[in-house]
Chain A
Amino acid sequence: MSDPLDAMLDLMRRLPPTQIEANVSALVDICPDYADDLLGSVDQPLKVKTDAATGKEYLACDYNRDGDSYRSPWSNEYDPPLDDGTIPSAKLRKMEIAANEAFDTYRGMYYEGGVSSVYLWDLDDGGFAGVVLFKKVLTPAQPTENYGSWDSIHVFEASERGRQAHYKLTSTIMLNMVNSEKRAGEDGKKSSGEIGLSGSMTRQSEHDLPVQDPTSHITNTGRIIEDMEIKMRGLLQEVYFGKTKDVVYELRSAEDLEHARRQRALQKELVGFIKR
């Protein structure tokens, strides 16, 4: 028998991405012993919370959680409040503030809406790690519009080596798009339906880049994450959506197969006729 955690991760690769939250929570109930391993290995859609101090929205995930409280990147406060909640060192918090501003600009340029959050934490070996989060939800104002949601989770580790820094990035994108239709024709025909396209994918990359001052970490991770998001967005659109559409045509041919068969047979006959 293989490791139950491997089986859980295989399940997550197979079951519908739209059900990920319900399914992870069911697995945690079934095997509480594996809860930490599972929650640490499976990314889930991000939750939007509102910072009580600034009124700004921020994103909640496992990386800004302490107990049942979540830390806001804007005020550095936990909600519900914690007296001894984990916070980054003063130096790192300064960089966190700057990173949140920079990635908020990035969010505006690429997402034209949505919410972003950056969380940093100190590592024991002197380096630091962080997570950059984006979430956007499209809520249809009219029934003809599509629903959509996008979650990006970029986790990185940075370690300095002289004037260089080594970055390890793991990026996950979760996506869900739903189209609903309802029609009634004059010929008495009525139809309705729903088309849902959902997915999740994870990619990793490593980079060595020069560091002049602390802002270099923000520009470096910024460029790495920007390139990764562009690459993954393209992959999802071209490869993944394209593939699922192609499979529909593998299942049912839009062309008449009988017609094609007859044409092939006729061609064969003609070739035989010419050869004779």
Chain B
Amino acid sequence: MDSSGRIQAVSKFLLESPPGEINDVLNDVRNIIADDDSLQQGIAPALREYNLAQFITVDVPGTDHQSIISKIALVGNPSDDENTSERFLDPRSNTTFKFDHLTLEASDPQPHEPDDASEPFRAALEASVHAYLSSHFSDGTAAVFSYQGSPTVFIIQIIANKYNPSNFWSGRWRSEYEVNLESRLMQGSIAVNVHYYEQGNVQLSANHEVSLPLPPTILQSSPTPSAAKVLALVESEEGEYQISLTETYQGMSEKTYKSLRRALPMTRSKMDWDKVLGYKLGAELSAGKGGFS
């Protein structure tokens, strides 16, 4: 396999990393490839893709909060492969910053001018999403973006991670909602990934897409009450999803798992091996010149 094929193969491994384990996967990949120079350059696009897709959080310079790295947070043109730093927006502090996809560090904060038309509604959504966060996530980060060039479309992003390597588990909850006051629709997606790996490797991978009409009382002209209603929709959707996830677990554990392999045979007792082998079979084998010793 040539060098570019190898880079392509290990890039796929990186993109499949369980929550919080990309550094472990990267370490393994370094040991396997044993060529740090070509690796560092080659995997830069995969690391960038991973950070954007997985809503990696970063401390925003000059603030005491974190922001989300994602496609919508990108400012300006995406950088080429030679430059791993590109700029992202933290809408909460109206700051843009450079972000290094390898070291995961932010630098060079610059003030950012928000869009007057969309800012009141965006800020109201931001206040509501933080209230929602503190109600249901003990370790979550959220960000609300207005859509460039269209003051009636907003993106809400929520990310919660828990990493517990000493107890061999990690988990990630990601959700994203596009609130469109023009088409009167909210489109959302929830992704949950969990890895439990104490003497084994068990993974939950769940995705959920939803689209629902916005009630007529949600209006751009009344940001605060409307934003609270949007987040009430999010809360009910995520709450329902969590219940349906639990029900699916129940169904899988009771039905699917049992259809694959029963806990015990229909007789409710273990197999009678002596009986199954039977006397005839035993006699036949024993006739074959005594034993195997």
Contacts and interface: CB of A to CB of B under 8 A. Distances in A.
A134 B243 CA distance: 34
B194 to A, nearest CB: 4
A187 interface: yes
Interface stretch (A45-53, A65-73, A94-102, A266-274): A94-102
Contacts, number: 304
Given A17-B201, A251-B160, A136 B260 contact: yes
Contact of A199 (B200, B248, B289): B200
Contacts of A251: 137, 139, 160-162, 171-173, 192
B76 interface: no
A27 interface: yes
A147 B22 CA distance: 29
A11 B28 contact: yes
Interface in A126-179: 126, 128, 134, 136, 138, 146, 148-150, 160, 175, 177, 179
Contacts of B196: 240, 243-244, 247
A214 interface: yes
A2 B32 CA distance: 9
A237 B161 CA distance: 24
B286 interface: yes
B285 A98 contact: yes
Nearest to A9: B28
A150 B204 contact: no
A268 B210 CA distance: 41
Contacts of A213: 282, 285-286, 290-291
Chain B interface secondary structure, helix, strand, loop or mixed? mixed
A223 interface: yes
Given A8-B32, A253-B136, A179 B200 contact: no
B209 A193 contact: yes
A14 B265 CA distance: 34
Instruction: Choose among B16, B196, B203, B206 the residue with the greatest number of A CB atoms under 10 Å from its CB.
Output: B203
Chain A residues touching B, range: 35 or more
B259 A252 contact: no
Given A213-B291, A241-B249, A23 B208 contact: no
A256 interface: yes
Contacts of A136: 260-261
Interface string B101-128: 0000000000000000000000000000
Interface string A50-85: 000000000000000000000000000000000000
A179 B251 contact: yes
Chain A interface secondary structure, helix, strand, loop or mixed? helix
A226 interface: yes
Nearest to B168: A243
Nearest to A107: B261
Interface in B4-53: 5-6, 9-10, 12-13, 16-18, 21, 24-25, 27-34
B256 interface: yes
A201 B194 contact: no
Interface stretch (B67-75, B145-153, B267-275): B267-275
Contacts of A248: 171, 173, 192, 194, 204, 242, 245
Contacts of A191: 208-211
Contacts of A11: 13, 25, 28-29, 32
A202 interface: yes
Given A192-B209, A253-B138, A244 B202 contact: yes
Interface in B199-248: 199-213, 238-239, 242-246, 248
13 contacts: A14-B197, A14-B201, A15-B25, A111-B262, A177-B260, A187-B213, A199-B203, A211-B291, A214-B291, A226-B271, A233-B263, A244-B196, A253-B137
